[in-house]
Amino acid sequence: MKFSTKAIHVGQEADPTTGATIVPIYQTSTYTQDAVGKHKGFDYSRTVNPTRVALEKQLASLEDAAHASAFSSGMAATAAVLNLLSAGDHVVVSDDLYGGTYRLFSRVLERYGLEFTYVDLSDLAAVRGAIRPSTKMIWIETPTNPMLKLVDIAAVAALRPAGAVVAVDNTFATPFFQRPLALGADVVVHSTTKYIGGHSDVVGGVAMTSERAIHETIKFHQNSVGGVPGPFDAWLVMRGAKTLALRMREHERNAQAVAEFLAGHGKVESVHYPGLPTHPQYELAKRQMSGFGGMLSFTLRVPEARAMEFAAGLRYFSLAESLGGVESLICHPARMTHGTIPKEDRERRGVTDGLLRLSVGIEDVDDLIDDLRSALDAL
C-alpha cells in the first residue's frame, strides 16, 4: 500500500456499529464495563480512546513505524521521548533547533539532572567529540529550525554509543519527504500541529518507533502524565493527514519557486533552502529526502528594523508563529519562535536579528512572489 492510500485507509475502517465511512469522534471520557476488568478494550480516555487509536494507526503507517503515541502537542511528544532517560544521562543535540525544544531542555529538564551538549550535527567530528560514556540520546532536527541545515541521519546513527537512542524531529520534512526510521533512527517525533494537521486549526504531536521497549516506555508516560489529545483534536489531525501528500507536493513546488526568486533578488543577502544547489548540503538533501519541503529562511540586506517592517507589510504572508498550514506565514525567529535562546547563542548559530523564516503555503505561487517583490521594492 502506497503513502496516499495508507493516509486515507489505515485506521479508517468503517464504523462496525453504524457503517459510518469516517471514523467517529468518540467524545467520551469513560466506558461502561460488563464487569470489573471486562470491557471492549477501552476503560478511560486518558489511557485509550477509539478516535486516538485510529489516528495512531494512520500516522504509524505513514512513518513506516510499528507503533505511534499521539499527544496534545509536539512538545508533549518531545517530553515523553525524553522520559526514556534518567537523571545523569547526557544528550547530544542539534545546535540549531526549535526554540521551544531548547527551552524544554535548558530550563526544565536540566533541573531534573539531564545534561545537554549542543553541537553542529552536520559535522561528524563534532558529534564524535561530544559523545560521553553517559550519552544516552542524540536529538536531531533535520532540516533544522530555522536555518534549514541538514543532518546525515544514517551517519549520525552509526556513531551512537551502545544503548543510546537516536531521536529525530521530522516535523519540517514530514514522513512524505523523509523516513528517519529507515535511516537508522529509533524514534521519530512530529508536531502534528504543523504539516500533518495542515490547516492551523489544531495543536498536537506524535512519537513513533518500531522498538517495542521504547514504545512501551513512551506509552506508559503518555498515560501517566496525561498529555493526550482529545478525540476532536485527534479527528482533526487524522482528517488533515489524509491530504498530506497532495499538500506537500504543492508546498514544495511553491517553496522552490520562492527560494529561487529570493536568491536572485539584490536586496536579499542569503537564502537557506535545501532545494537550492547553493545549499551546502544539497547533495545530502537529494540523497536523504524525496523532496525539499515548504520551509525556508533568508536574510535581507537591510537593518533589523527594516526587516521587521518587511515582515509586517506583506499581504499573503501572515506575520505569525507556527508553520505548515495551507496559508503562507512569515516569522522573525529571534523575536518569536527562538526568543528564549540567549542572543549570543542565537547569533552564533546564524539566527540573527535580520533573519526571516517563511512557511510557504499552497496559494498561487505568482501571488506569493508578487507579494514578496512589492515588499522588497518598497525597502
Catalytic sites, residue numbers? 46, 98, 169, 194
Q: Around Cβ 306, how many Cβ atoms within 10 Å?
A: 15
The three three-digit cell numbers of residue 109, written as one number: 529538564
The stretches of 73-211 forming alpha helices (DSSP H) are 74-82, 99-107, 124-130, 153-157, 174-177
How far apart are alpha carbons 330 and 313 in whole angstroms? 10
SS3 124: helix
Query: How would you class 221 by CB atoms within 10 Å of its CB: exposed for 0-12, middle for 13-18, buried for 19 or more?
Result: buried
The answer to whether the beta carbons of residues 139 and 93 sit under 8 Å apart is: yes
User: According to the 3-state scheme, what is the secondary structure of 309-322?
Assistant: HHHHCCCCCEECCC
The residue count for the chain: 379
Alpha-carbon Rg for the chain in angstroms? 21
The answer to whether the beta carbons of residues 144 and 337 sit under 8 Å apart is: no
The enclosing H or E element of 136 equals strand 135-141
The stretches of 152-211 forming alpha helices (DSSP H) are 153-157, 174-177
Q: What does each C-alpha distance from 106 to 109, 130, 145, 295 come to in angstroms? A: 6, 17, 17, 26
Q: Which runs of E-coded beta strand occur in the chain? A: 67-71, 90-94, 115-119, 135-141, 165-169, 187-191, 205-209, 268-272, 295-300, 318-319, 329-331, 355-359
Give the position of cell 554509543: 161
Nearest to 71 by CA among 162, 191, 210: 191
Give the position of cell 501517566: 224
The answer to whether the beta carbons of residues 115 and 134 sit under 8 Å apart is: yes
The answer to whether the beta carbons of residues 98 and 169 sit under 8 Å apart is: yes
